[in-house]
Homo-oligomer: A and B are copies of this chain.
Amino acid sequence: MAPAAPNIDGVLETSLYVDDLEGAARFYEEAMGFAPLVRDARLCAYDCGRRSVLLLFARGTTGETAPLAGGAIPPHEGAGRLHLAFAVRAEDLASWETRLADHGVSIEARMTWPRGGASLYFRDPEGNLVELATPGLWANY
């Protein structure tokens, strides 16, 4: 039996890599309503609730080690239409659908999960697959 791992207290940061940072930022701020924690020409960071953070990186700016005053951030980069999901309350799903429609965002698919949760799927301007999911999806949600 392996020793138990020290505690992990959740995913803190989730990253997307975008060609048009300004356009993606507009989507996450205006359609999704996220508050920026950082907003510069290379990175936008958003508070997504429950102290989780969405990072939008301008593609091509993260492929080299970034030396900083307190250390360094190693290279990373991404391509493709990534998938991420945000948790929403069941009673807010209809309001979200209205809001997305008001911002010209089409719902691409829907799911009702065996545990009773429901998901909406749509795209950000970069083609990433965004999901809003209500409780009743995973054993831990």
Cβ-defined partner of A92 (8 Å) among B7, B54, B92: B7
Interface membership of A1, Cβ < 8 A: no
* Chain A interfacial positions (CB closer than 8 Å to B): 2-15, 17, 30, 32-34, 37, 45, 47-55, 57, 62, 65, 68-89, 92, 95-96, 99, 108-114, 119, 121, 128-129, 131, 133, 137-141
- Are A84 and B8 touching (Cβ within 8 A)? no
CA distance A70 to B118 in the complex (A): 9
Query: Which chain B positions have C-beta within 8 A of A49?
Result: 7-10
CA distance A92 to B9 in the complex (A): 11
- Are B133 and A83 touching (Cβ within 8 A)? no
- Are A109 and B53 touching (Cβ within 8 A)? no
Query: Which chain B positions have C-beta within 8 A of A138?
Result: 37, 45, 47, 51, 53
Query: Which chain B positions have C-beta within 8 A of A108?
Result: 74
